[in-house]
Amino acid sequence: MFKRIVGTRTVSIEDIPKYMDEVDRLEDIYFGRIKITPEPKAVKLKGLYEYVTFMKPPERPSIHIPYRLLAELGKIAPPEKPVEYVLKKLQSYRLISEKDIDQQLLQKIEMARNWAIEVKGEVANVKLNDRQRKAVAELVERIKMATSAEQVQNAIFETAKSNSIDVPAFFSLLYMILLGSDRGPRLGPYIFDVGKDRVAQMLLSQLNQ
């Protein structure tokens, strides 16, 4: 909320993943992982991070995982051991190692799962140009026909190339639609974990925006 002192800002429980990712970015700025210029702007954002942490910033940065990824994995996790399931998936995606698991990450997983189950917010609208819309629509059909995670992964490459879209840019676009972030796990296995039909519906919903 205090990011903009002048003017107004709408605050909604549905946007919690966006806020959580903003805090992660502030932490990266505070610890020098992200360089900000000019210096006065960097000082302001570092000060904002101190306020976010109640003037008691941690000694070192935490592991950062897109919050929507934690939410989606938490939502499909078995209710008996949801946190353990999410941790195993994050390790299989090579996003974390055993040494990255701390109390803060465990708490984030629990909170993200609760948000996904109780709030069910939607991914922010991503504006698509005509070429991107055509590529996403084509990818939906390929995902529906895929019988393995590797086929989904290859379909993303092929769809980007057949529509003359830069492959990394197409992956970033899909991450934004599905996770609200420009990066994430290997998409083929992730799409199979979440469910082909669910992902296809999320992509189709974006086309209908």
State the amino acid at position 102 in one-letter form.
D
Residue 184: inside a domain:
yes
Instruction: Indicate whether 51 and 76 sit together in one domain.
Output: no
pLDDT, one tens digit per residue, over 69-96 is 999 999 999 888 999 999 999 999 999 9
Domain membership flag for residue 107:
yes
Tell me whether residue 54 is in a domain: yes
Task: Look up the pTM and report it.
Answer: 0.79
**Within a domain: residue 163?**
yes
pLDDT given at position 180 = 83
The answer as to whether 124 is a domain residue is: no
89 membership: H or E segment, kind and range: helix 82-92
> Is residue 143 located within the same domain as residue 202?
yes
Structural domain of 47 = 1-61
Q: Do residues 169 and 199 both lie within one domain? A: yes
In the chain, the number of structural domains is 3
Average pLDDT for the chain: 91
More confident residue, 8 or 60: 60
Are 105 and 50 in a shared domain?
no
Q: Does 128 or 180 have the greater pLDDT score?
A: 128
Identify whether residues 55 and 76 lie together within a single domain. Answer: no
Q: What CATH number did the domain enclosing 185 receive? A: 1.10.10.350
| 108 shares its domain with 39 | no
Question: Is the separation of the CB atoms in 178 and 66 below 8 Å?
Answer: no
Q: Does 138 map to a domain?
A: yes
Who has greater pLDDT, 166 or 3? 166
CA distance 26 to 48: 8
Residue 61 has pLDDT above 70, yes or no: yes
The 8 Å CB, 24+ separation contacts for 138-143 are 138/162, 138/163, 139/174, 139/203, 140/200, 140/203, 140/204, 143/191, 143/196, 143/199, 143/200, 143/203
- Per-residue pLDDT at 183: 85
State the pLDDT at residue 11: 83
Would you say residue 103 lies in a domain? yes
Same-domain pairing of 95 and 139: no
pLDDT of residue 54: 94
Segments of 53-188 assigned E as strands: none
Q: Is 77 exposed, middle or buried (0-12, 13-18, 19+ CB in 10 A)?
A: buried
Q: Is residue 45 part of a domain?
A: yes
Q: Are residues 38 and 73 in the same domain?
A: no
Q: Residue 120 pLDDT more than 80?
A: no
Percentage of the chain exceeding pLDDT 70:
95
